A and B are shown apart, each in its own frame.
Chain A
């Protein structure tokens, strides 16, 4: 343990380069002979392509090539894949239409890719793209996820009748029906979980390059998981075999899930680079990001909670229509199924749960994982139900939760998950104290005196992170294993390079992973380099999403470090001429028990490489170890967030006045970074609750296609957060960590809507609770509360 190790709030090593403009993002990279790609995109939500006339565009200055879906098909380039097979309740596999990288005969959403124009300069490519004449036969569009399965709706894919990809379910329907039949009270809610546009600060970008001398391809791409991108592009799309394709994800400016997926643009860039034997670069502008980055959420749900006379929850039932958009994105099928329904038990002892999910196609941008991915939707369902059930049965919402908390661990829920550890009451008690819950009434009266409404809302969330045990997800339909790799290369002078299959795009891995090494090997963090994001350097990895990098990637580093120590002990024993089991390692020092012999970590590293003092028959030279770590279980971060809002009755403006967050992330590697993750997550959750919401008109045009109409949360929209932690260490990984990257975004929407509805005195408001929506809800307030 050093003062820079696990638990220390050291400053982020990567920030110097980011805040001084020295980051190297994909768009900062320029290759010799580079050309520029512009995509011709569909202006229609649904249309047949009768013809594409590119003659005038091909003749435009600087144009090198124009390709369409026919060219990809002629080269036998496959479509984009969805990597998680979901089976419907009748046992049939999900019904997915093809997802070509460039449209073949039909476009299915505004922004769909029709052709690519490649030119010497970006402006020439743009000019020529305007000259590509596409003859569309415009069709009616299916837009509303609640209506798209009805007869007479336009069909997005012939392969999926009634626009239904799957009708999936989880849980015991009969047990739930029986529980509802004997319930003293049933709370029922109709819930819309609004569609979100991710809006990472850095838009997506790609550069494809072909080396005709070696027949090697290199793709620079804004990816959260470059190895998965290489695997998909090689094994499924057919770009090149893995050993001929290098994928590099350099500095990446935020992902929030949207950069997990393998998109059309990078596929076309890397394919076209070989086709024209020139590097091909594409960088999205913000408008393209709105149209073509996979969106998040978009559920329409009816949910019910059965409660007995004593206030004990008996059962939960939910029916969800999940909008998957026009094509299945890389992990789209899993988000509203296995990342959603297994979390519906929340922190509560619920004997019976039954959830049905219809995954549906619409003529809209594909929908996939976005910060939280399924778990915010589940938390919103259970935490709204619990809050409203408490109100309807005249119970305090905090005490109603406490009464139903799970208190014995491990706990097997009726929906797959086995919670390993937690202390939900401890979080609640701490949050109630920090939020001054007892004096809320005084603050409410003070607000009322100013003509304002005040409300308080809870969200006691749970999430499943650290995805995931490979065998478990394999049995549920995942196409890949979800382990993580680490390689530790100790240099002869004792400095350390760590190669991780995780990818950092804002999380601060260069700091936190160095802290793990500092704790385990006793070296300062400045002696540690973290290498990630390059398939030529890191052999294989599964990437960063689902709050998995600490729990899975960090654990792999621990396992590799243990192997380094074991090898180091053998080298040290030989050098000190003692038995191997006599050697201890602590705080960067190898010592021989019962003697005064000692060697520093650096001295042992040097001896490992000079190899003068041991028998090569018994000990190999060098100090480099690898681990592939596959977790035993998911991790289960949990916490209690309490939002307090004040509403201006005259305008409907909701001010977030106070925010209390008490989270149990297990062991914290860097508490400062963890707090930052909580802050960012809450801001995104408040954004979903108050401001954000992608809206399509009935023809499938995205109405909120820029920041002029899509409201993003800003610093002034959130208060100074009151954040604290509890710690029940995760028993299933060697670090005891649970993951913290998504918690705020999972907890916040329910806390916000519970607070707003508490202020209003009725449940009639949906997200985003914009000033207009809140003002209209104020007009519907019960007379007494309004006065």
Chain B
């Protein structure tokens, strides 16, 4: 790890000021990716602004048909939340399946979504549920938020404050874990609501999390595993690596899709 300057603001305003004073500063939101990268000297931020001291960024509430989760809420808090369990049990289950207990007690939803790791679980839920990502500057719809591997539309000095997840009639996430890292090799999230069905795939896409329109159409017509049985999954836009070639990933998307639908 290289030497760096560490700030721990206690309000969003203080955090904004710290970012303005130190362009290029990295936000620390649990640190489950940033800290290991720094330890390996792969990341070299001069300044780190730790959001862990801002109480306003933590917590889970339900309002106007949506679950609001503060950006600095840990995976463990989401997994154990009675509010989430009642309204979106599939989201609590997703959080309970991230990493291991250490990761779940340090890692946060805001950190995960901002990092947009192609193997992360939360982006699939954000996209499938059509969540809204609120930042220190604006509200961003899920369909606009993610734009490639480890990439989002967030600007340099923009801080995620909370994410609103519309409560769906049904939501489920099925993950096939990488046998080594246990990240999602393929993860499929399916949400059914009055406005329709949305399906998002993580872990597999060469450009990161993406929607599966043909599955959404099929499930809108008939919400059953049978409706998507035999659905042709395009492998041309999928990742290939030593754990899974694109054709195997495409096959697994179909399997996880059917399992998510149940």
Contacts and interface: CB of A to CB of B under 8 A. Distances in A.
Interface of A: 123, 126-127, 287, 650-651, 690-691, 695, 703-704, 707-712, 770-772, 775-776
A708 B182 CA distance: 8
Interface in B232-249: 242-245, 248
A123 B255 CA distance: 48
Interface of B: 1-3, 40-41, 176, 179-181, 183, 242-245, 248, 251-252, 255
Contacts of A690: 179
Given A651-B255, A772-B244, 13 more contacts: A123-B1, A123-B3, A127-B2, A651-B176, A651-B252, A690-B179, A691-B179, A703-B242, A709-B180, A710-B180, A711-B179, A770-B243, A772-B245
B34 to A, nearest CB: 16
16 contacts: A123-B2, A126-B41, A287-B40, A650-B255, A651-B176, A690-B179, A695-B242, A704-B180, A704-B242, A709-B180, A709-B181, A709-B243, A710-B180, A711-B179, A711-B180, A772-B248
Contacts of B3: 123
Nearest to A775: B248
A126 B40 CA distance: 11
B181 A708 contact: yes
Nearest to A779: B251
B199 to A, nearest CB: 18
A707 B180 contact: yes
B179 A771 contact: yes
Most chain-B CB neighbours within 10 Å: which of A126, A691, A772? A772
A287 B243 CA distance: 20
B69 to A, nearest CB: 27
Contact of B242 (A126, A709, A776): A709
A650 B245 CA distance: 16
Contacts of A651: 176, 252, 255
A181 B75 CA distance: 66
A770 B179 contact: yes
Contacts of B179: 690-691, 711, 770-771
Contacts of B40: 287
B185 to A, nearest CB: 8
Nearest to B182: A714
A330 B1 CA distance: 34
A676 to B, nearest CB: 23
Most chain-A CB neighbours within 10 Å: which of B183, B242, B244, B251? B242
Contacts of B1: 123
B176 A708 contact: no
B256 to A, nearest CB: 9
A709 B182 CA distance: 10
- For the complex of A and B, the 7 pairs showing the least CB-CB separation, nearest first, are A711-B180, A708-B181, A711-B179, A650-B255, A772-B248, A709-B180, A772-B244
A772 B204 CA distance: 14
B8 to A, nearest CB: 22
Nearest to A695: B242
A305 B252 CA distance: 39
Contacts of A712: 180
A192 to B, nearest CB: 15
Contacts of A775: 248, 251
A772 B183 CA distance: 16
Most chain-A CB neighbours within 10 Å: which of B40, B176, B248? B248
Nearest to A692: B180
Contacts of B176: 651, 771
B2 to A, nearest CB: 8
Contacts of B242: 695, 703-704, 709
Contacts of A709: 180-181, 242-243
A651 B1 CA distance: 39
A225 to B, nearest CB: 32
B119 to A, nearest CB: 9
Contact of B181 (A287, A703, A707, A772): A707
B180 A772 contact: no
Contacts of B180: 691, 704, 707-712
Most chain-A CB neighbours within 10 Å: which of B41, B179, B183, B255? B179
Contacts of B248: 772, 775-776
A438 to B, nearest CB: 33
Nearest to B185: A771
A772 B243 CA distance: 7
A739 B244 CA distance: 40
Contacts of A127: 2
Contacts of A695: 242
A708 B179 CA distance: 9
A711 B242 CA distance: 11
A707 B99 CA distance: 13
Contacts of B244: 772
A707 B178 CA distance: 11
A645 to B, nearest CB: 15
Contacts of A707: 180-181
B225 to A, nearest CB: 11
A667 B179 CA distance: 39
A690 B180 CA distance: 11
Nearest to B254: A650
B125 to A, nearest CB: 21
Nearest to B3: A123
A340 to B, nearest CB: 28
A262 B40 CA distance: 27
Nearest to B1: A123
Contacts of A776: 248
B55 to A, nearest CB: 33
A632 to B, nearest CB: 45
Contacts of B255: 650-651
A48 B88 CA distance: 60
B176 to A, nearest CB: 6
A723 to B, nearest CB: 26
A695 B180 CA distance: 13
